[in-house]
Amino acid sequence: MSSRAKSSPTSRLKLFSKHLNSPSPTSTSTFLEKPFLELNTPFSTERSAHWEDEQGKIIRKSKFQEKIEEKTKEEATQTEQEQSERKQSAKMSKQAPHAALMIPGPIEFDDAVLESMSHYSESHVGQPFVNTFGEVLSNLRKLFQTTDPSAQPFILSGSGTLGWDQVAANLIEPGEEALVLHTGYFADSFADCLETYGAKATQIKAPIGDRPQLDEVEKALKEKKYKLVTVTHVDTSTGVLSELKALSELVHRVSPETLVIVDGVCSVGGEEIKFDEWGLDVVLTASQKAIGVPAGLSILMVSGRAIEVFKNRKTRPTSYFGSWKNWLPIMQNYEAKKASYFATPSPQLIHALHTSLNQILSKPLDQRFSDHKAASDKIKKAVSDLGLKQLATKRENQANTMTAIYLPDGVSPPDVLPSLMKKGIIFAGGLHKEIASKYIRFGHMGVSVTDSQRKDITKGIDALKESLSEVGYKA
Ligand SMILES: *Cc1c(COP(=O)(O)O)cnc(C)c1O
């Protein structure tokens, strides 16, 4: 790299966006085609104040952007009163005043969940902590609606991504085939993860906003023997919801040995999941999305059938930290309230999860799911009343935990996100690289939905309306 290229942010951005042009929707081996040190990061507004079009050219300042800048100057004179109003409305709890985090994770946290983290230090093998961990594992069974004793919950320190690694390292052996159903960015990454561990990943890609159809999946399953099928329950890059029940039935009927793996990072705790009834083999998630706990825990429910597949491996697991050989006895001991050690868990996060699961399970789960659906319906109606479209066009394809909203023509995320922030609302920019500059994402899960004291949802809708009208958009 020349020193000029190094010092120019524009050329660095260009290099960066080149990394994103990863090839090949269905190829089984993309590795050699990719740059060696590929950045596994999508193009998104959080990363840059600049904006590029699909060709990597910086988009010139739009008339909307200019208007915002004028407006910002105006507002500078009235900030004091405004600020105090904002503080008032942001005072949602004992937490310091802050804009409501309405992105698809991390989400807003409940006070009690946060407070349970300021627990004095405990030994991770002392009985009190072992009891807490054990209760958390039992409660996870309830959250996933499983009563099958052969199913196994896992909680490891790490983020949601570690769930992909666990699946890839424990359930598939080098050279085996995986079918990855693509509804957005997260399937590309899951496929990449599987290939990192030597599996061969084939993707079925749906057009943006849609999901692979059952007949396509059936055809693929009949063509080749797949060790597992992965599906993203809610794809956080597109807001597309997958239908798990019918898909799982299909897999069991057409290819009974194929494991059904669900990336539920943006769905568990907000979308209905019936682990036993739907015949799922792994549902993986993370703490910071609809479960409402700070980031740092990789949470999985694994079926007895998948545990058997793991136990019958011919080769050893291809990860050390993520190996179920190491973790299975630990999880079983914790649930039996027996101390044991493989690697130190995070007592503080386990306490937070304990509190959050107790809150979630104190009400019927059906109620929780219908509350999320009602909030989602309200947002989706407001979006369409505003004359805006979602990435997912059909209601049955639309997630209940988030909404991905196309901005009006000529408006890009940097035109509205800063003004939303001023109104006390944080939304996320686009994440799907082909259309990242055209849409924003509104996360609606957890306490923002279930705590009636909070006005996050209405505030989010009102702020969106105002920010759009500020840039000259009329519904
Ligand atoms: C957020 C997310 C992930 C990644 O989780 P991290 O905690 O960021 O590692 C994976 N899949 C989906 C569907 C997600 O929404």
The alpha carbon of 161 and the centre of ligand 1 are apart by a number of angstroms equal to 6
Q: Closest ligand 1 atom, CA of 159?
A: 7
pLDDT at position 475: 81
Alpha-carbon gap, residue 136 to 134, rounded angstroms: 5
Q: What are the structural domains, with CATH classification, of the chain?
A: 63-109+365-470 (3.90.1150.10), 114-361 (3.40.640.10)
Nearest residue by C-alpha to atom 6 in ligand 1: 160
CA 105 to centroid of ligand 1, rounded, Å = 8
Using CA atoms, how far apart are residues 279 and 246, in angstroms rounded to an integer?
Answer: 10
- Ligand 1 mean position to 180 CA, how many Å? 16
Q: How many helical (H) and strand (E) elements, i.e. helices and strands, does the chain have? A: 17, 14
Q: Which of 167, 266, 271 to mutate to test the pocket of ligand 1 (most atoms within 8 A of CB)?
A: 266
**Ligand 1 centre and the CA of 446: distance in Å?**
16
| Chain centre distance of CA 205 | 19
CA–centroid distance, 276 to ligand 1, in Å, is 23
Strands 240-241 and 234-235 come out as antiparallel
The neighbour count for residue 58, using CB atoms within 10 Å, is 13
| Mutate which of 186, 233, 244, 441 for ligand 1 pocket (most atoms within 8 A of beta carbon) | 186
Neighbours of 90 (CB within 10 A): 17
Tally Cβ neighbours within 10 Å of residue 141. Answer: 19
Higher pLDDT, 420 or 40: 420
The answer to whether residues 288 and 294 touch, using CB atoms and an 8 Å cutoff, is yes
Q: Per-residue pLDDT tens for 138-179?
A: 999 999 999 999 999 999 999 999 999 999 999 999 999 999
Residue carrying structure tokens 């394809």:
397
Nearest CA to ligand 1 atom 2: 265
Euclidean distance between CA atoms 237 and 20, whole angstroms: 15
For residue 71, how far is its CA from the centre of ligand 1 (angstroms)? 36
pLDDT digits (tens, 9 = 90+) for 376-401: 999 999 999 999 999 999 999 999 99
Task: Report d(CA 111, CA 474) in Å as an integer.
Answer: 38
Closest atom, ligand 1, to C-alpha of 232 = 13
Pocket test of ligand 1: the residue of 236, 271, 445 to mutate, having most ligand atoms within 8 Å of its CB, is 236
In sequence order, what are the residues at sequence separation of 6 or more whose Cβ sits closer than 8 angstroms to the Cβ of residue 329?
340, 342
Ligand 1 geometric centre to CA of 286 (Å): 7
Whole-angstrom CA distances from 294 to 77, 113, 351, 451 are 37, 9, 11, 18
Tally Cβ neighbours within 10 Å of residue 135.
18
Written as one string, the DSSP assignment of 60-119 is PPPHHHHHHHHHHHHHHTTHHHHHHHHHHHH--SSSPP--EE-SSSS----HHHHHTTSP
Q: Is the separation of the CB atoms in 206 and 230 below 8 Å?
A: no
Residue 272, CB-side half-sphere exposure with 13 Å CA sphere: 13
From the CA of 404, how far away is ligand 1's center (Å)?
A: 16
Lowest-pLDDT choice from 72-76, 153-157, 367-371: 72-76
Atom of ligand 1 nearest to the CA of 162: 9
| pLDDT band with cut points at 50, 70 and 90 for residue 69 | low
Identify the three-state secondary structure at position 282: strand
> Look-up: residue for tokens 């300042």?
61
Rounded to the nearest angstrom, the distance between the alpha carbon of 160 and the centre of ligand 1 is: 5
If you take atom 1 of ligand 1, which residue's CA is the nearest one? 265
Pocket test for ligand 1, best of 41, 103, 265 (most atoms within 8 A of CB): 265
pLDDT greater than 60 at residue 63: no
Distance (Å) from CA 193 to ligand 1 centroid? 13
> Could you report the per-residue pLDDT of 317-330, keeping only the tens digit for each?
999 999 999 999 99
Residue nearest to atom 5 of ligand 1 (CA): 160
**What's the chain's average pLDDT?**
87
pLDDT tens per residue across span 250-309: 999 999 999 999 999 999 999 999 999 999 999 999 999 999 999 999 999 999 999 999
Q: Which of 312, 276, 30 minimizes the C-alpha distance to 170?
A: 312
CA of 300 to the centre of ligand 1 (A): 13
Q: Identify the CA nearest to 404 among candidates 418, 414, 415, 390.
A: 390
Q: How far is CA 95 from CA 289, 398, 426, 451, in A?
A: 19, 32, 16, 15
Residue nearest to atom 12 of ligand 1 (CA): 265
C-alpha 146/C-alpha 152 separation (Å) is: 10
Closest CA to 172 of 151, 193, 203, 144: 193
Ligand 1 pocket residues where CB is under 6 Å: 105, 159-161, 186, 232, 235-236, 263, 265-266, 286, 295
